[in-house]
Amino acid sequence: MYYDAIIISNLNDFVFCPKSIYFHGIYHKFNQKMYHRAPQTRGSIGHENIDKRQYSSAKRYIQNMEVYNEKYNILGKIDVYDRKQKSLIERKYRLKKIYDGHRFQLYAQYFCLLEMGYEVEKLFIHSLADNKRFEIALPKGEELEKFENLIDEMRNFDILKNKFKQNPAKCEKCIYRELCDQNNAIG
């Protein structure tokens, strides 16, 4: 079922703007220097230690592991799982605010780890630039429902049919804004 799995990092992208996933798909084969701006470049540099599994040499940490969850048919990678603390840590370069997309990305990783047999008791998002760690509540109740609704919305989204309200503040910061008709959703 991997062929139609949702990529975990796309959860945050979809919340930001569904069209960004489409544009990312177009650009993914190009050199990122062609379309990334400074924030994306800083984020990639900040993520290198995880990608190379150099966060720590301690055996308690699992780094950059591929994960999959059959129930939601989602796949991706985790940043860090601390076996001793039973905690999952998603690292971002700089966070001033935690958005739904950040939480949903972490929830997806959490569900993957659970289904893979790992115990996860705590979730964190770590802001590298200022070394701040934000604890995220485990998904339940309304948050779980919002996560599952997002999964359903992504599965049923058609860029040519689904209209959505664009957010000018988000569009202004989008690395794909030159390609996008900011005044009107496709369809």
- Percentage of the residues of the chain whose pLDDT score is greater than 90: 46
Q: Note whether residue 39 is domain-resident.
A: yes
Q: Note whether residue 181 is domain-resident.
A: no
Gap between the Cα atoms of 57 and 35, Å rounded: 34
Query: For residue 186, what pLDDT is reported?
Result: 41
Number of domains into which the chain is organized: 1
Element (H, E) at 50: helix 38-51
Instruction: Please provide the average confidence, as pLDDT, over all residues in the chain.
Output: 80
Q: Note whether residue 83 is domain-resident.
A: yes
DSSP state, residue 109: H
Query: In which domain, by residue range, is 9 found?
Result: 2-173
Q: Note whether residue 179 is domain-resident.
A: no
* Sequence-separated (6 or more) residues with CB below 8 Å from residue 120: 81, 86, 87, 88, 110, 113, 114, 138
Helix/strand/coil (H/E/C) assignment for every residue in 155-172 = HHCCCCCCCCCCCHHHHH
Q: Note whether residue 183 is domain-resident.
A: no
Q: Note whether residue 57 is domain-resident.
A: yes
Put simply, whether the predicted model's pTM sits higher than 0.85 gets the answer no
- Percentage of the residues of the chain whose pLDDT score is greater than 70: 67
Work out the burial of residue 82: count CB atoms within 10 Å of its CB; fewer than 13 is exposed, 13-18 middle, 19 or more buried: middle
Q: Note whether residue 56 is domain-resident.
A: yes
Burial track 23-59 (b if 16+ CB lie within 10 A, e otherwise): bbeeeeeeeeeebeeeeeeebeebbebbeeeebeeee
Residue with tokens 């989204």: 157
- CATH of residue 158: 3.90.320.10
Work out the burial of residue 114: count CB atoms within 10 Å of its CB; fewer than 13 is exposed, 13-18 middle, 19 or more buried: middle
- What digits encode the pLDDT tens for the residues 50-108? 555 555 567 899 998 999 999 999 999 999 999 999 999 998 888 888 999 999 999 99
